[in-house]
Structure 1
Amino acid sequence: MFKEKLRTQILGGCLQDYKNHLSGLYKGFYITLDGLQGQYLVKISINPANDADMATLISFLDNHKLNQKKLINAVTGSHSISLTIKMPSLGKNIPDTINSIVDPVIDYLISYTFTSGCSECGSTMDQIDCFEINGGHYFLCNTCKDKIHASLQTSQQEIRSKKSSLVAGLVGAFLGSLIGAALWILIYKLGYIAGIAGAVTAICAMKGYTILGGHLDKKGVIGSVIIMFIAIFFANKMSWSWDAYSALKDYGWTFTDVYKELGYILEETDLVGSYYGELVIGYILTIACSARSIINAFRQSTGSYSIKKVN
């Protein structure tokens, strides 16, 4: 996850690098660090002596957030603290940024005699290990790990037992895709091909399917993605037709005429290659921008999960 030189500067080099996260014991506290889309998520396992300790901790974190511009959010659970940190623009500033935010929190916890154990139940008596659950990382005792595993299995069975209304869902996906198609046309009018518009199309299509179909299952994800590609095709055609109409309207062409005869117009102006080239680029950018959302939606639609111990 980090070059060794940087890792050794982060929290005294106490956290081990497992390629996709850091985790370990720092000053007696179990800590994990994940990188998420321009942010770092630091989770600290804590065990307060009483409820009053948590109230004062929340007040401390609120003030700490005001004093640290890079600290985006600080959330407390019964036995955990989650710190969301904005990534520095320069890699060499990463250790100082993380240390300046996390160290004061650790010092506070030590001074108020907090301890560290399982991030779910707070146990300090059982063996505590780091587990990767659906891409996130948590220090847990085996009892809590087993409970979470059982809960995920139950959820998977419930999700797989749900069925959607395909026709109604596809109507919803179509209506949702219109939002992304409109954004595609708008961005194209500004002179750009934007994969983000394709990603919006995918998200809106899946949301529309969920609303009218009742549930986004596997066939719903597949149907939404197909509609996304169709919507982008027609959005691209609409964009080109608008440009052609702007050039031909003075010669008596209506927009409807241009849209119907776009293929002929492209052949006459030797722009067929450019038209399909831009469409292919648009599809590539769309896939790049929406792949994660589609994959996550597919996993959720099947109730799939992953849980494993970090070596």
Structure 2
Amino acid sequence: MRASLKTLAQDTGMTYDQKRMSVFGYYQGYQMIIRNVQNRRVFEIRFHVNGGTPEQAKAVQDYFAGLSQSNPAVKSAVFDGVGASIQVKSNGKNSVEALKEILNSVLSVCRSYSMVSCCKYCGAQTNLGVYSLGGECTSMCGGCFEKAQSDLSAARQSLKEQKSNIAGGTVGALLGSLIGVALWVIVYQLGYIAGIVGFVMAVCCMKGYEKFGGKLNAAGMVISLLIAVAMLYFAENVSLALEIYNEFKMDYDITFFDAFRSIPEFMKDDSVSRSVLSDLAMGYLLMLVASVSSIRATYQNANLKHEMKKLS
């Protein structure tokens, strides 16, 4: 996918941005953004145009409506009167030629109906640029970018003045962790590896802290992750207790709580202890591996630490 984007940039004179897995710039007089859709073998072509009459805009919409039928490389195509989005299937070495063919065809239609590039937000046709908003390439005018910067600065200042309620946040993290506990137990009972739920547990704790604590700061992150670690251990014990209860309830007059209290005795059995330790190790490992980027993103979103910069 990277190779296709790099080649496309070279062939069209646009800019390749490896960090954002995107190509952007002017092509045939139109400001374009082409990106790789994350975790999918699909490219997305995005641009914004206006300037034609309502009848001309309708004609462009009709063209887009039939694009996926007329071109097998097109997965979907939408034009709402200003914004255009075309998803193109990745086809290995042929992807670049397919993308260029679609670009040429689409822009030819836009040109024939007097459409010109414009700002995504206000429709202005001048002072256009490509900007990074939260790490995603966006086409807009300088005025709208300055307003977005001002709005973000005001929101950051408001958030900075907001106090974090540690007590409320801790309660929220505990409540959020219960979702992870329930998922762990369900997945465990179905006979699957419950480890991936460790990732869900961490995210639920952070979301719960933010919901009840008002602000997910560094202290909130630490508290949330400590609760996630402890509750994953608790979830494994609940799962083991259920397994003990289901195994012996027909032969002995026991309750779930009896089974839970008997866990230390069962842990003396090497096979049981190995199984439990294996489950926990997998859960904590996947919590660490799968959560790193998500934890970072969650913290950045909660604290409005979004990238905002001009790219071209």
Q: What TM bracket, shorter-length normalisation?
A: 0.7 to 0.9
- Measure the CA separation in 2 of the matches of 1:261 and 1:25: 69
Judged with a 3 Å threshold, the aligned counterparts in structure 2 of structure 1 residues 302 and 276 are, in CA distance, closer, same or farther, namely same
SS in 2 for 1:17: strand
**One-letter amino acid matched to 1:71:** K
Question: Is this contact kept in 2: 1:10–1:95, CA < 8 A?
Answer: no
Judged with a 3 Å threshold, the aligned counterparts in structure 2 of structure 1 residues 283 and 105 are, in CA distance, closer, same or farther, namely farther
Q: Which residue of 2 aligns with 1:307?
A: 308
Q: Which residue of 2 aligns with 1:111?
A: 112
Deviations 1:274-310 (A, max 9, x none): 3223212112223333433322221122221222333
Q: Which residue of 1 aligns with 2:78?
A: 74
TM-score by length of 2: 0.79
**One-letter amino acid matched to 2:47:** I
Deviations 1:151-188 (A, max 9, x none): 22112112222334433333333223222221221112
Judged with a 3 Å threshold, the aligned counterparts in structure 2 of structure 1 residues 18 and 10 are, in CA distance, closer, same or farther, namely closer
Question: Is this contact kept in 2: 1:134–1:305, CA < 8 A?
Answer: yes
Q: Is 1:131 the equivalent of 2:131?
A: yes
Question: Is this contact kept in 2: 1:8–1:14, CA < 8 A?
Answer: no
Judged with a 3 Å threshold, the aligned counterparts in structure 2 of structure 1 residues 68 and 184 are, in CA distance, closer, same or farther, namely farther
- State the superposition RMSD in angstroms: 3.4
- Measure the CA separation in 1 of the matches of 2:269 and 2:275: 13
Judged with a 3 Å threshold, the aligned counterparts in structure 2 of structure 1 residues 163 and 270 are, in CA distance, closer, same or farther, namely same
Q: Is 1:162 the equivalent of 2:165?
A: no
Choose from 47, 52, 60 the match for 2:50.
Answer: 47
Q: Offset at 1:2?
A: 1.4
- Measure the CA separation in 1 of the matches of 2:226 and 2:70: 48
Identity of aligned pairs, percent?
Answer: 26
Alignment of 1:164-183 (within 5 A): 164-183=164-183
Alignment of 1:267-278 (within 5 A): 267-278=268-279
TM-score by length of 1: 0.79
- Measure the CA separation in 2 of the matches of 1:99 and 1:65: 16
Judged with a 3 Å threshold, the aligned counterparts in structure 2 of structure 1 residues 3 and 238 are, in CA distance, closer, same or farther, namely same
Deviations 1:207-260 (A, max 9, x none): 4444444x3432444433333333222112222232333444456354323322
**One-letter amino acid matched to 1:166:** I
Q: How many residues align?
A: 305
Q: Which residue of 1 aligns with 2:39?
A: 37
- Measure the CA separation in 2 of the matches of 1:308 and 1:230: 40
- Measure the CA separation in 1 of the matches of 2:221 and 2:79: 32
